[in-house]
Structure 1
């Protein structure tokens, strides 16, 4: 009888541990086990690139992956170097640079009195840009961070949303900022201050929706023309129609969540805006 009690207790404890460790993080475990090849890709370089010499070794081994551009770096007393350019002529996919452009546009609008940093933003306004299953933990933690800095759980200062966009690389916050400053203001800022061949930043939620709609989540050869058509439509609706929601738009595609492998996502990023350093 004791052995059965022991087995019952053991099974109960095992079930609790499984629920706490695996059950609550099932999507993470699923991602790891279904993308082992992608996670292993380039892993041999991780520890080596902690040092500057290791980073140089990586650049030497993979010159096609890296561009470096440093210009007019100097202190008040000692001029270190004037220019350092490597692979600067290559066009690269634009990621975080888009957030920097949004940040600069926002600052420009506030300085010129066209926008108030104290404008209140509802949590609903941010949530409508969230694409289900895309970085859900980061999204939840970003909303919690906003709530911790606000007296309200449902409204936040625009300036705080911008800070979360920068500090957390939170894509729904970036899309919210994009919708508030407006596409025209971003374009005017880039025309006046951005030099080089740099595309307009992407609306992240429109990007992920267009990837699904153009078939790039089911195979690696989704149509680029289809992607652009869908992206333009989703971007227009998300930026101009305050009632549009990424969740509803995703369900309209007969999909409940944006889910694809690392390799599919890596391939999809080729559709993002481009920039030449």
Structure 2
């Protein structure tokens, strides 16, 4: 009996040590899951329903408050599918399109040289710890593997290609600052934008919506910032980003906090906070893409340069040439937000289609499902070459009044 008790005590003690060690090593993921346990089931009823794109079309039809898209075949001109096309939604990193445009325009007028070499460490200085940091690391590894990193430097041309493919937030911020804040108002006027905000530094945006860094509740931040004039909000975001770059004490405090607690918000709070990000409409974004495809955006040279940077899928996505003779895109996924813009020429019909797709404020469990399976990317590509998908979404749009679903903007 005594021997059995000793054995049980040793077994129990060992089990406690092992369990405690596992819990200690995984404490942060455990607490993240615990704090977001309600979010992790939000929209879960849609997961089993949407393993097919047919199921995704049902989600779109039954959740018009979360989705906008325009898919336009350039010839014939009236072959367009619209759905919630005039609702302003956050762009996420599809706003990097405007960095590409500004960069291409600067190269054409001689302000920038595509062969200018950039220190990668200067790019990394814009990175907020644990805020999409994996994309920054992946983009470096990809550039290094392709031979684009030489002596710790990358050319401006390769940096632009990398930006379109990886949506590296630190790279986006570096290019935003080096293009120059003063250029953005001029670009907005050049492009005659009416519903589209110009990009902002992502470091500043994420610091702005961080309850931990601002020592405010998430809903209070959203209320205060959403009521501000656009110019005042932009100034705040730019100021946060500039302080992170140039004020050592502020930078150290931000880095210490984000390493320990990231932004200090829940999944739902972060998703809702993305409503503060620069916005556009599917209609206006598609108009810009159409100008690029027809070589009418600023000039043929600028249009062709932007398209060349967007073409990364033709080199990096396996099997894409089966369905496309030409294809360029920017995709994004961040909490509760899936967006994408693309220009593609079907290998079957030769038709060129331009598209802008926005899934906004979607349920967290469903977002994880869509994001992990790259469903919005597959959806966009099939909307160009798959007749069954095109017909199905045309029917969805027709039932909604050709995109005029009764949905209110958050503006």
Please say whether Structure 1 and Structure 2 have the same fold, judged by a TM-score greater than 0.5: yes
Structure 1 unpaired stretches of 5+: none
Structure 1 match to 2:314: none
Q: Deviations over 1:79-116 (max 9, x none)?
A: 49522222112221221321111122212222332211
1:178 Cα shift?
Answer: 0.8
Q: Distance in 2 between matches of 1:146 and 1:272?
A: 28
Mapped to 1, the partners of 2:233 and 2:83 lie a distance apart of 35
* Runs of 5+ consecutive residues of structure 2 not aligned to the other structure: 283-411
Q: Is the 8 A contact 1:70 1:83 kept in 2?
A: yes
Structure with more relative contact order (C-alpha pairs < 8 Å, separation 6 or more)? 2
SS in 2 for 1:36: coil
> Quick one: distance in 2 between partners of 1:86 and 1:154?
45
**2:172 matched residue in structure 1:** 174
Conservation of the 8 A alpha-carbon contact between 1:209 and 1:231: no
CA offset at residue 268 of structure 1? 1.0
Does structure 2 conserve the Cα–Cα contact (< 8 Å) formed by 1:207 and 1:272?
yes
Residue aligning to 1:235: 238
Q: 1:63 to 1:129 in 2, by over 3 A?
A: same
Contact 2:176 2:200 in 1 (8 A): no
Cα distance, 1:143 vs structure 2: 3.1
Q: Which moved more, 1:45-54 or 1:249-258?
A: 249-258
Q: Does 1:139 align with 2:136?
A: yes
Aligned residues: 267
Match of 1:244 in 2: 246
Which residue of structure 2 lines up, in the alignment, with residue 118 of structure 1?
115
Whole-Å separation in 2 of the counterparts to 1:198 and 1:246: 34
RMSD, aligned α-carbons: 3.9
Shift of 1:208: 1.1
Per-residue deviation, 1:122: 1.7
Q: Which residue of structure 2 aligns with residue 258 of structure 1?
A: 263
**1:93 pairs with 2:90:** yes
TM-score (norm 2): 0.54
Q: Are 1:43 and 2:44 an aligned pair? A: yes
Contact 1:132/1:258 (<8 A) preserved: no
The 3-state SS of whatever aligns with 1:96 is helix
Q: Does 176-185 or 137-146 show the bigger shift?
A: 137-146
| Structure 1 Cα separation of the partners of residues 215 and 82 of structure 2 | 34
Does the CA-based 8 Å contact 1:207-1:231 persist in structure 2? no
Q: Secondary structure at the match of 2:209?
A: helix
In 2, Cα distance between the equivalents of 1:46 and 1:108? 43
